Amino acid sequence: MPSFVYEAVDRKGKAIRGTMWAQSKQKAILELRNSGLTVKSMAEKQKSVLDMEITLGNSLGKKEFVVFCRQFATLIRSGIQIDQALKLLTNQSPSRRMKRALSEVLDHLRAGLQLSDALAKRPKDFPSMFVNMVASGEVGGNLDDILEHMANHYEKDSQSIAKVRSALMYPAIVLVVAACVIVFLLRSIVPTFEGLFAEQGAELPFITTFVVSISGIVEQYWYGLLVLLMLPLLAARMVLMTKTGKYWLDAMKYRVPVFGPLMKKSTLARLARTMAALFYGGIPVIQILSVSEKVVQNAAAARVLSRTREKMMQGKQMSEPFKESGFFPDLFNQVVQVGEETGRMDVMLAKVADYYESDVERAIEQVKTLIEPALMMMLTVVVGIIVAAIITPMFSLYEQIIQ
């Protein structure tokens, strides 16, 4: 959506200059006139490098989305009309992408669309779960409550994902740093001492010969080693491009020692939280499963939900295909069954989500407790071998000098 630079005069004759988003110049002028301004000039703003929108990914950030939901809920609860609330949020948002998204939604609203339909026009910014919940709020007349509930949902979801990522990032960073240190020692330090030992004609022990050989391989064929390291990543990327490959890789994630159970608990927590929110909004069960397939972000879990949806359309209860799949633990299955019997699926799923989120936090602390000393020990052993390979011949040289 283009932006326009305008000069206008208000009813008191005060000159006003500013920038605004609109689908066209005519709509921009009309909106200013409706605000009581007399437009003197209007021109489309030319984009420069500094004006370009910089985003990480294809959607709005989780934090700004949570803030948007809370502010929107507060404005609606205060009795402000939806279009006026969106206009206020558009003007005060610091994000260019959010301004653009809300401005387009506002234009669709003024064209006669429902809020949920207008949000659905920008699927990259407003996920299907949010759109469905807003539609439910429109029908039930509790849009402010739904928006507040969505803010809580996305906030907890974001916190849960951030904790898991931090647990996975720590060992990855340590391994990268360790690799850099080892490569530096093998390419810079070891060759220097190798030349010194050769000049002195020292007899090299096995450990030094071994490390020197590794150093020579790293120095001469580093590009080949880099390719070998990149091959698994490229292969995984190729596999992920196929539906079957993505399914098997996602299924294998849960079988990785230590981290697999952690990732599965995180998936269960996110799924339970999502389904709880959708049940709270009164969304039909079949639609809940369909939306959850997209939210879960794991092909193996999504396949279970897809098969569950198919069996439910044949007349089965949700707990039955959940048990048959073997994907869900007994606790999850029991909670779903109790929720079906009591009719309080949203409450039961919210409780199991809280349980798994707490379990994920405990698991992360345990992983950090186990991984940190293991990584430090591994790094110490490798660096120790390299240092020993350098120091051991120096004792032999020292003995030769004394003799």
pLDDT given at position 263: 86
What confidence category does residue 244 fall into, taking pLDDT thresholds of 50, 70 and 90?
confident
Residue 193 pLDDT > 70: yes
Stretch among 15-24, 103-112, 210-219, 323-332 having the lowest mean pLDDT:
15-24
332 Cβ neighbours under 8 A, 6+ residues apart? 268, 272, 322, 352
Residue 4 pLDDT > 80: no
pLDDT given at position 151: 86
* Co-location of 25 and 75 in the same domain: no
Q: Tell me the per-residue pLDDT of 273-284, one tens digit each, with 9 for 90 and over.
A: 889 988 988 888
Per-residue pLDDT averaged across 207-224, rounded? 75
* Co-location of 34 and 87 in the same domain: no
203 lies in some domain: no
pTM of the predicted protein model: 0.64
Q: Which residue has the higher pLDDT, 72 or 30?
A: 72
pLDDT given at position 396: 66
CA distances from 148 to 94, 155, 194, 198, 358 (A): 21, 11, 67, 73, 22
How many CA atoms within 13 Å lie on the side-chain side of 265? 19
pLDDT given at position 321: 92
The domain that holds 146 is classified in CATH as 1.20.81.30
Joined tokens for residue 130: 């949010």
Residue 403 pLDDT > 70: no
Residue found under tokens 């090299």 = 204
Helix axes 330-342, 345-402, angle to 10 degrees: 160
Stretch among 60-64, 73-77, 90-94 having the lowest mean pLDDT:
60-64
**Mean pLDDT for the chain overall:** 80
Cα–Cα dist 26/62, whole Å: 34
Cα–Cα dist 134/216, whole Å: 63
Residue 54 pLDDT > 70: no
| DSSP 3-state of 47 | coil
163 lies in some domain: no
Stretch among 189-193, 296-300, 315-319 having the lowest mean pLDDT:
189-193
pLDDT given at position 2: 57
Residue 376 pLDDT > 60: yes
Q: What is the DSSP string of 14-28?
A: -EEEEEEE-SSHHHH
Cα–Cα dist 339/288, whole Å: 15
Pair type for strands 3-9 and 15-21: antiparallel
- Domain end marker among 99, 133, 155: 155
The one-character DSSP state at 278 is H
Per-residue pLDDT averaged across 36-53, rounded? 61
Number of H helices, E strands in the chain: 17, 3
Cα–Cα dist 17/40, whole Å: 10
* Co-location of 84 and 126 in the same domain: yes
Residue 299 pLDDT > 70: yes
228 lies in some domain: no
Q: What is the DSSP string of 349-385?
A: HHHHHHHHHHHHHHHHHHHHHHHHHHHHHHHHHHHHH
* H/E stretch holding 6: strand 3-9
Pair type for strands 3-9 and 38-44: antiparallel
The residue range of the domain holding 105 is 62-155
78 lies in some domain: yes
pLDDT given at position 30: 76
39 lies in some domain: yes
Query: How many C-beta neighbours within 10 Å does residue 195 have?
Result: 9
pLDDT given at position 225: 67
- Domain end marker among 155, 185, 206: 155
pLDDT given at position 50: 34
83 lies in some domain: yes
Identity at 190, one-letter amino acid code: V
* Co-location of 87 and 10 in the same domain: no
Q: Which residue has the higher pLDDT, 242 or 313?
A: 313
The domain that holds 18 is classified in CATH as 3.10.20
Cβ proximity of 322 and 332 under 8 Å: yes
Q: What is the DSSP string of 119-132?
A: HHT-TTTS-HHHHH
Helix axes 143-184, 259-280, angle to 10 degrees: 170
Cα–Cα dist 99/105, whole Å: 10
Backbone angles phi, psi at 38, to 5 degrees: -100, 115
What confidence category does residue 322 fall into, taking pLDDT thresholds of 50, 70 and 90?
very high
148 lies in some domain: yes
Q: Which residue has the higher pLDDT, 36 or 109?
A: 109
End-to-end CA distance of the chain: 85
Q: Find how far residue 111's CA is from the centre of its chain.
A: 34
pLDDT given at position 402: 58
323 lies in some domain: no
pLDDT given at position 203: 66
- Domain end marker among 155, 172, 197: 155
Query: How many C-beta neighbours within 10 Å does residue 356 have?
Result: 25
Stretch among 225-239, 258-272, 287-301 having the lowest mean pLDDT:
225-239
Cα–Cα dist 137/281, whole Å: 7
Residue 58 pLDDT > 60: no
Residue 53 pLDDT > 50: no
Cα–Cα dist 15/193, whole Å: 76
